[in-house]
Structure 1
Amino acid sequence: MLSKLYRRTETRWGLFAVCLGCPAVAFAQTATTTTTSPVYAQDSEDITVIGTSPLPGSSIDRNRLPARTSVLTQNSLSSEGTPDLLHALDTQLAGVSLNYASGSPYQPTVMMNGFEASPLQGVAQGVAVYMDGIRFNQAFGDTVNWDLIPDMAISRVAVEGSNPVFGLNALGGALNINMKNGFNTRAGGEADMSGGSFGKIQAEGEYAGRRGNTAFYVAAREVHEDGWRDLQSSDIQSLYADLGWKDERTEIHGNLDLANSVLNGPGTSPIQLLRADPKAQFTAPNLMANKFIQFGLNGRHEFSQHLSIQGQAFYSYFQQRVLNGNAANDTPCDDSENAGLLCSDDDTPSRTVGGGTIPDFLNGGMYSEMDQQTTNTNSYGASLQETFTHNIFGFKNHEVAGVSYNGAQTMFSATSLIGGLTPYTRVYYGPGVVIDEPGDNVPVRVSVSDTYVGAFVADTIDITPRLSLTGSARYNFAEINLHDQNGGDLSGNHAYGRVNPAAGLSYRLTDWANIYGGYSEANRAPTPAELSCAGPENSCSLANFFVGDPDLKQVVARTYEAGLRGRFLLNKKHNSLSYDLGLFRTDADNDIVFINSETLNRAYFANIGGTRRQGAKVHLSLQLSRWSAYLNYTYTKATYRSSFTEDAGSNPAADADGDVTVRRGNRLPGIPSSKLTGGVDMRITSIWTAGFDFDLQSGQYLYGDEANLNSKLPGFFVLNFHTAVQVLPHLQVFGSIANLTNRRYYTYGTFSPTSSVYLAQAPNATNPRSYSPSAPIGGFGGIRVTF
């Protein structure tokens, strides 16, 4: 059952719209006069083809595949006004949910079939993400930085079930993002300007042109948001450009992706502090700054109507800087022998570089720890595949085979500083003293070399005109080498290899019903981040400090799924009802989790045995002449299949030894068992459309409560409104209201060391439950100009 919802808070929102001039681009042909089409709730069901591999060019009728697939189009992404990939994933697809551990609206963890794709280290990454055939999971931790993806430049997103062809991390599935170019986008331009509540201002635009065999596309955006919580802010700039050439048989594209972001996410706060002040952060700063540059080259060539090759090559540079203010592990010593010094939790004098002790330089005042890290990664790679559609003994056949190579060089550094803590806002201040405590917390500088090689094949053959058999396999090889630059014990070499098979059947019962079932295997190798923090004696902070290099086993997932899908045509005007009903079960062996350490704010990665994620998904979509609607329901039961014991950390349900025991059958934290989403769009007049979408979600166990000993995070209901008016053929005004009923709700919960930090707003707080609150009601508006 869904948990009781929170009461409304005070309504606060604003509405904002301004005009934007349209620059001319001499290279492009004159744009054809068009009227911006109204946005409908779901138009993805008209898409009948889907890729069988990450590279574009391997498309096949999705009804021939034995797996659930979905497609989000440009209109799907723009349902709220400006393109928003994350909102579309959260509301329009079954099996997907989001949580916001960092408190930043641009840094969510995307949960897909019970597996995660997150920008945060410490999260077990179980979803593969590709952008025009290039792997987007970052090499150091397989993280996915959603803020670096230019939403406006997305042509379509294919959401794939577990498929070994998509390589490492595709345990819960894959997102395959295809970008716009001058050939798949109308000639001309679009400029949007929008803003509203929480100090949000967003400007973005795109332009495409074509001359003969050559075409170009460029898109840019600037986003600033003050945020509604203390010390919350977002600044994002991005530029995407593509230059292409094609003739009847060959198409080549070169593209450039530039992105820069500075995100201040206040993270979770103790619930007693949030009751006193819903905007309050716990400790600060909590900053993530990203820089990203990627050059890509992709192309295809058709040797004949049935045989073609596709390929891509890329180079990227990724820099990430993280600042994380935490409760201090080092405080004034209690014993007289060490009076005037700082000590760690076991009354051992704290040490700095060179082994010297750290004085109580605040004379008993409030201390804080600043964990800071920098990651610099140079990545490169290439892949090549052939697609062959032909008949074998009279049977229709679709075959794809290819190879891929990815390499990366990473330099990671991290340092902890002990400093002061402002009394009311709880912000770290320095200059601080470097902490150097061997076996606990030491400065780190390590270089990492990654090599990933894959070879794959997939084949679909129509045994009869209605029955299709699909078989596929991929060999994955991963080599990860770490070299400690400070002379510590981080150095180590690791290699992993595995062949993952898949097979299934799809049968077209009628023109409106298709039944399918399949089995697949996928794996993920431990990341450099996990290998460097993999034991009780080698724990690391939540900001990812690494002090050891033991081996971890790779994770192997085995997925069974079956379903029924189809589409009814209701009349000759193309009114239709589409449906997709599916069941799934994924068993993961040697799953890797982040386990609490005895040291405050420290944890480590470990193989804990088996986990299982199983459930059901329902998708319905109705398309009529003047309105459309969709409904998604997902039930997920995610459980541990093995028992293990971990330190309780701040979990109040600890036993006498300070531990908790996770038993077989306990639920995995952070995964709601039930989620219902839906939406409706109406064409009120020929120029005015309006619609609603909602999210009804059940409660989930808190992260840190793997043993299920505490009450769940409350469930919630969120209602959103959007509208658009086509004022002139080239001018549209749009607006939206998020969280229309102004519910106070939370998508993420954990435990924090509440008693370790003085809370001026809630001085008697002792409850360690800590939530990441979602934004109250907010109003947004803008204009769109096409030319």
Structure 2
Amino acid sequence: MFEKMIGRRAMYLASAALCLLPARAVLAQTVPTPVPGGVTAGIEPEDITVIGTSPLPGSGIDRDRLPAATVILTAHDLQLTGTADLLHALDSRLAGVSLNSASGNPYQPTIVMNGFQASPLQGTSQGIAVYLDGVRFNQAFGDTVNWDLIPDLAIERVAVEGSNPVFGLNALGGALNVRMKNGFNSKGGEFDLSGGSFGRIVAQGDYAARRGNWGFYVAAREVHEDGWRDLQSSDIQTLYTDLGWKGEATEVHGSLDLANSVLNGPGTSPVELLRADPRAQFTAPNQMANKFIQFALNGRHSFTDTLSIQGQAHYDYFQQRVLNGNAPNDSPCDDGSGLMCTDDGDPSTTRGGATIPDFLNGGPYSELDLQTTNTNGYGVSMQETETHSLFGLRNHEVAGVSFDGAQTMFTGSALLGGITPVTRVYYGPGYVIDEPGETVPVRVRVNDAYVGVFGTDTIDLTPRLSLTGSIRYNFAQINLADQNGGDLSGHHAYSAINPGGGISYRLTEWATIYGGYAEANRAPTPAELSCAGPQNACSLANFFVGDPDLKQVRAHTFEAGLRGGFAIGHAGRLSYDLGLFRTDADNDIVFINSETLNRAFFANIGATRRQGGKVHLAWQADGWSAWLNYTHTDATYRSGFVEDAGSNPAADDDGNITVSRGNRLPGIPLDKLTGGVDVRITPIWTVGGDFDLQGGQYLYGDEANLTPRLPGFFVLNLHTSVQVTRTLQLFGSISNVTDRNYYTYGTFSPTNSVYLSQAPGATNPRSYSPAAPIGGYGGVRVTF
């Protein structure tokens, strides 16, 4: 079916390439959905939700016809607590999603969805694909997702998609398909000014206007936060604009996204240090500075009422600078030479091969790791969409191609210097570390190209029974060239054909059952390929040597569920989603501890499995709404391996830990319950709240499950708003109302390598990232 479908539409894709007139269709809207014979399919017309079947806007289909879990968050969902907040909405409103923060900065969390991760931090195995208006947002160098660069206020809606091969690389656990606002799906404007605890100040606003066939949208945001921990702060600026033209058959948009951020995160701190001072950081500085520019063209052209083409072309520039203070890997030699030595006992060297003296007469020393990533990315994708009758049956098909390319220059260096005794901050000027055969310095140029060819088809075998089949071919080519003449150069190519399919059956007007199977893959990133062996370990600041091959990850997902909704009483409605999932991943890639302090390497460790169930209940009535989510995620290793224990105190006599089949993956809570309620007390006053009850998780570095889990937690948040006039609103919120001490991320730190003045004699290497204490915020919103 797919070969015929793709072949007969080739001429449409060719014509699309000449004019690039992609679509700007609605990801989710309320529409009636007729089927052959004039029967409305499954549920009442007002409850039909349209969702995209591919990353590009314009491929919308009734959600109940798809054999996968799908959820939509609207701009209203993002603003329930005051200012638009994508991360909080994902964490609180969705089943299957949790957040953790290794960096200790609130704008740099890792999102865990169905047991897979999307994170801004290198060293994290990325398993979620993120798209903004059809443009892949995972950064080319490490597939990372920098949440601080997304302008939350400019988001029109977010479609959370289950496993679907059409969404390409990294969609192992699903995809986030974000649609931005423009002059046609938004109108008017607003300005928000808010602030509160920890020195937070947020000023943001947007405006949309339409004049004839032209539409214009602009959104700007400025965020400053001092933070509540030592050396914790955030500064973010974003500007997003969209200019569009819309005719009877054609719609074209040009968008510009500018973002700048400087984020300081104290990271994890040893538990004994946190016990003495909950605000304390371990070693510093820990700073990430991002600059981002993206220009995109996208739109659509309809040949007929049932046949259209969509596409996008984009260019982006991404620059990231990282400063990371660490415990030193070099120490005074014990032979009385007065020099510094590496962990192997060899003299430490600087530029020109000169030895480094013990310039602080025994220390204490620290190391400052520096990295810079400069990426120029570009891409194009296009597709045709047709809804027509096939053998007298309603049929919806999409076929398309995509290309993404990038050139990246990565540089990494390290300085050996001193460390302040109380705050443990690196100070210099220090010595540049230049040790041939070791991990620094590094300068590498990366060229990568990713090609995808995809098709999906949904046919209604009966007015209630829909059959879907999907397929995608992925090709990845990654070339690395060592600019320092080392052994980093290498050429890598990966390909995969990923099928998917399933059925959905509308049992009644209030219940649809579905089941499906999907395959997905992710190619090793340039970052992983450059740090892929025990002799080629790197730090979390990403210094790379060597270039051994890694195998690509292949994921196989089965899911099934029941969803629907029904009216209760005069104005109430209960909607629900119940789902089961299992994803088996082959050749999974993880970051394994190295014998060298603060170093690790990427490796294929065999099979892993994520499986579980999700329940989502939502109640909507006149004047109030409520929701409840429960998630059970059983994420385990299905293959055993041995790794260096690092700072894990449960190491065996050889300094290793042995991971066995059935051990749980770290960082993924087994159980999570979230919920919330919003009540309109009076016509102008609304109050609400949400809670998060989350079970414990094993610490990163304890893949063998040998030490106690990170404690679970319960956190409660409240919010309120008063609509003073038609255009003026006051809003406020309190986070962590009960002022609980809780932690979202845990690992191990080398406490014996750094003197802790606040906790002298500390020996416990368990290290946590504490969440913020109680905080209050308030603001004003003006709409016009």
TM-score, normalising length from structure 2?
0.94
Can you list the C-alpha shifts for 1:166-224, whole angstroms capped at 9, x where unaligned?
A: 000000000000000000002x2100000000000000000111110001000000000
Give the deviation of 1:265 after TM superposition: 0.3
Correspondence for 2:32: none
Does the Cα contact within 8 Å between 2:166 and 2:472 map onto a contact in 1?
Answer: yes
Does the Cα contact within 8 Å between 1:435 and 1:441 map onto a contact in 2?
Answer: no
Letter in 1 for 2:276: A
Correspondence for 1:31: none
Q: 1:398 aligns with which of 391, 396, 399?
A: 396
Correspondence for 1:84: 85
Does the Cα contact within 8 Å between 2:615 and 2:629 map onto a contact in 1?
Answer: yes
Give the deviation of 1:300 after TM superposition: 0.2
Does the Cα contact within 8 Å between 2:465 and 2:506 map onto a contact in 1?
Answer: yes
Does the Cα contact within 8 Å between 1:416 and 1:441 map onto a contact in 2?
Answer: no
Letter in 2 for 1:732: Q
SS of corresponding position for 1:152: helix
User: Which residues of structure 1 form unaligned runs of 5+?
Assistant: 1-44
Give the deviation of 1:353 after TM superposition: 2.0
Correspondence for 1:58: 59
Letter in 2 for 1:84: D
Does the Cα contact within 8 Å between 1:439 and 1:537 map onto a contact in 2?
Answer: no
Of structures 1 and 2, the one scoring higher in RCO (CA 8 A, sep 6+) is 1
Distance 1:371 1:520 in 2: 41
Does the Cα contact within 8 Å between 1:522 and 1:556 map onto a contact in 2?
Answer: yes
- Which has the larger displacement, 359-368 or 555-564? 359-368
Correspondence for 2:522: 524
Alignment of 1:319-468 (within 5 A): 319-336=319-336, 338=337, 340-468=338-466
Correspondence for 2:100: 99
Give the deviation of 1:442 after TM superposition: 1.9
Give the deviation of 1:571 after TM superposition: 3.7
Give the deviation of 1:569 after TM superposition: 1.4
Give the deviation of 1:331 after TM superposition: 1.2
Distance 2:152 2:403 in 1: 27
Distance 2:276 2:610 in 1: 38
Distance 2:749 2:594 in 1: 14
Distance 1:533 1:354 in 2: 25
Alignment of 1:346-745 (within 5 A): 346-573=344-571, 575-745=572-742
- Which has the larger displacement, 473-482 or 349-358? 349-358
Does the Cα contact within 8 Å between 2:574 and 2:619 map onto a contact in 1?
Answer: yes
SS of corresponding position for 2:348: coil
Distance 2:64 2:551 in 1: 36
Correspondence for 2:25: none
Give the deviation of 1:584 after TM superposition: 0.2
Distance 2:281 2:86 in 1: 27
Distance 2:757 2:201 in 1: 33
Distance 1:325 1:733 in 2: 42
Can you list the C-alpha shifts for 1:412-461, whole angstroms capped at 9, x where unaligned?
A: 00001100000000000111111122333320000000100000000000
Give the deviation of 1:572 after TM superposition: 4.5
Distance 1:437 1:588 in 2: 38
SS of corresponding position for 2:159: strand
Correspondence for 1:8: none
- Which has the larger displacement, 630-639 or 347-356? 347-356
SS of corresponding position for 2:351: coil
Distance 1:722 1:280 in 2: 29
Correspondence for 2:278: 278
Distance 2:47 2:231 in 1: 44
Can you list the C-alpha shifts for 1:363-413, whole angstroms capped at 9, x where unaligned?
A: 112100000000000000000000000010111100000000010000000
Distance 1:465 1:51 in 2: 21
Distance 1:312 1:572 in 2: 45
SS of corresponding position for 1:540: coil
Give the deviation of 1:307 after TM superposition: 0.2
Distance 2:513 2:524 in 1: 36
Letter in 1 for 2:122: Q
Letter in 2 for 1:657: D
Letter in 2 for 1:155: E
Letter in 2 for 1:367: Y
Can you list the C-alpha shifts for 1:706-758, whole angstroms capped at 9, x where unaligned?
A: 00000000000000000000001100000000000000000000000011000
Can you list the C-alpha shifts for 1:286-319, whole angstroms capped at 9, x where unaligned?
A: 0000000000000101111100000100000000
Distance 2:157 2:139 in 1: 22
Letter in 2 for 1:302: S
Correspondence for 1:117: 118
Does the Cα contact within 8 Å between 1:482 and 1:528 map onto a contact in 2?
Answer: yes
Can you list the C-alpha shifts for 1:328-378, whole angstroms capped at 9, x where unaligned?
A: 111111222x2x111122322111122221001111121000000000000
Give the deviation of 1:596 after TM superposition: 0.4
Does the Cα contact within 8 Å between 2:48 and 2:62 map onto a contact in 1?
Answer: no
Correspondence for 2:30: none
Give the deviation of 1:46 after TM superposition: 5.5
Give the deviation of 1:248 after TM superposition: 1.3
1:203 aligned onto 2:193: no
Correspondence for 1:69: 70
TM-score, normalising length from structure 1?
0.93
Correspondence for 1:5: none
Distance 2:65 2:308 in 1: 20
- Which has the larger displacement, 434-443 or 317-326? 434-443
Correspondence for 2:743: 746
Letter in 2 for 1:62: R
Does the Cα contact within 8 Å between 1:47 and 1:71 map onto a contact in 2?
Answer: no
Sequence identity of aligned pairs in percent? 78
User: Which residues of structure 2 form unaligned runs of 5+?
Assistant: 1-45
SS of corresponding position for 2:625: strand
Distance 2:173 2:436 in 1: 38
1:756 aligned onto 2:753: yes
Aligned residues: 739
Does the Cα contact within 8 Å between 2:301 and 2:310 map onto a contact in 1?
Answer: yes
Structure 1 stretches of 4+ moved >3 Å: none
Letter in 2 for 1:663: S
Letter in 2 for 1:691: G
Alignment of 1:153-192 (within 5 A): 153-186=154-187, 188-192=188-192
Distance 1:281 1:607 in 2: 33
Distance 2:353 2:658 in 1: 37
SS of corresponding position for 1:296: strand
Give the deviation of 1:556 after TM superposition: 0.1
Q: Supply the RMSD in Å over aligned alpha carbons.
A: 0.8
Distance 1:535 1:200 in 2: 43
Correspondence for 1:126: 127
